[in-house]
Structure 1
Amino acid sequence: MPNSVHDEKRALRADLRERRQLLSESARDAAATGIREQLDALVDRLGVTSMSCYLSTTTEPGTHEFVELAVARGIRVLLPITRADGLLDWAVATPDGDIAEGLFGLPEPVGEVLGPIAVNDVDVLVIPAAAVGRDGMRLGWGRGYFDKTLGSMEKCPPVYAVVFDSEVLDDIPSDERDEPVTGVVTPTRTLTLSPSRR
């Protein structure tokens, strides 16, 4: 990766991380409610019966409530588990499922571990991001787990990244390893950014 792109990404991530840490608890609660409403509408519109999502950290737009309600509605939700080799394993979310601290201190499910290909048959992927560009490029947090997952899928379903409203940007620094997303979900809106990924 050219150093300039690497440096731009690092600086942007640091800025976004600092902004997220400054959000009030009430702003986080409101964001979580908005994300649940937007994701509920998205899965209804797409007719989702199986999907991937993730368990948000305390500084991310909250997904826990959405996951809990999706499971209660009968949607099969796969949650990621980080591996040391840079790939993701998956576990099926269950009502009142246990959560443990994963490889990087992220909240991850406890349960039967399914391999990386378990995600190949979902209807939609909902993934975290630091920011998303209006052209569909996603800025992650630099470990490459989701880029590897998306890049390895033979037939990738729609992919929506979850960010705060202020993190939908005109332009995102990117390189050949970065994978685009179909759309973005914020607390107030869901945007389709590219009709298909491939």
Structure 2
Amino acid sequence: MEMPVERDKHAWRSEILARREGVTARTHAAESAALARAVRELGIPAWVCAYVPVRGEPGSTAMLDAVREAGARLLLPITGPPGPLEWAEYTGADALHAARWGLLEPDGPVLPPEAITRAELVLIPALAVDRRGVRLGRGAGHYDRTLSAARVDARLVAVVRDDEVVDELPAEPHDFHMGWALTPGDGLQQLGIAGVAE
């Protein structure tokens, strides 16, 4: 169901998180498998940045394994104090450990925020994305700060469920726009012009 754009980000987040809580384990597993298949069709470059889906986020480590099976090196975020994300290389699900906020992060050497500039493809978690490319995250601003600070020149792909690609979301000047959305049912969809909102 499409919500009016006048609703603020908090209302959007509450609604989408409530919907995600209602997704059955069977549906989540089917959507995760579909996302892993869709990732294989992206044309994987040599370096990719992604994330480990947790707390009902679409996808699973199968999506990450699909990137590695294509021969790419894969960097995942390391969370710290508010600021740009640091990175570490994903070598498999058995090398992940529990981190703050219920996240999973890779073991291994931690790379500086600028490591994201190696990537030609960045898969980014989102609660929703609109057709202009405005992404709704959880509100901490980690990705907006990271993308702005590093001046990333890569394909920016928000990973969401099919009904989380919406017509219009509230936008702020610092919001970094996505160029594409990746969903279980519709695969890769091009969005509006990528870059910082004007």
**TM-score normalised to the size of structure 1?**
0.90
Q: Secondary structure at the match of 2:101?
A: coil
For the structure 1 residues 54 and 152, does the alpha-carbon distance in structure 2 shift closer, same or farther, using more than 3 Å as the test? same
Instruction: Quote how far apart the aligned CAs of 1:97 are.
Output: 4.1
Q: Is the 8 A contact 1:82 1:103 kept in 2?
A: yes
Choose the corresponding residue for 2:118, options 91, 105, 121.
121
**Residue equivalent to 2:156:** 159
Which range moved further: 19-28 or 150-159? 150-159
Q: Is the 8 A contact 1:38 1:188 kept in 2?
A: no
Q: Is the 8 A contact 1:122 1:157 kept in 2?
A: yes
Identity over aligned pairs, percent? 31
Q: Is the 8 A contact 2:179 2:190 kept in 1?
A: yes
**TM-score normalised to the size of structure 2?**
0.90
Instruction: Quote how far apart the aligned CAs of 1:48 are.
Output: 1.0
Alignment gaps of 5+ in structure 1:
none
For the structure 1 residues 128 and 145, does the alpha-carbon distance in structure 2 shift closer, same or farther, using more than 3 Å as the test? same
In structure 1, distance between residues paired with 2:6 and 2:120: 33
Could you report, residue by residue, the CA deviation over 1:143-183 in whole angstroms, capped at 9, with x for unpaired residues? 00001111123342110000000100111011112110011
- Give RMSD over aligned pairs: 1.8
Q: Is the 8 A contact 2:131 2:166 kept in 1?
A: yes
Could you report, residue by residue, the CA deviation over 1:26-46 in whole angstroms, capped at 9, with x for unpaired residues? 10001101111111111x2xx
In structure 2, distance between residues paired with 1:67 and 1:126: 10
User: Aligned pair 1:197/2:195, yes or no?
Assistant: yes
The one-letter code matched in structure 2 to 1:13 is R
Q: Secondary structure at the match of 1:177?
A: coil
Choose the corresponding residue for 1:108, options 76, 99, 105.
105
**Residue equivalent to 2:75:** 78
Q: Is the 8 A contact 2:122 2:157 kept in 1?
A: yes
For the structure 1 residues 177 and 195, does the alpha-carbon distance in structure 2 shift closer, same or farther, using more than 3 Å as the test? closer
Residues 88-107 of structure 1: matches in 2 within 5 Å? Answer: 88-107=85-104
**Residue equivalent to 1:134:** 131
Aligned residues: 191
Instruction: Please list every run of at least 4 consecutive aligned residues from structure 1 whose deviation after the TM superposition is greater than 6 angstroms.
Output: none
The one-letter code matched in structure 2 to 1:8 is D
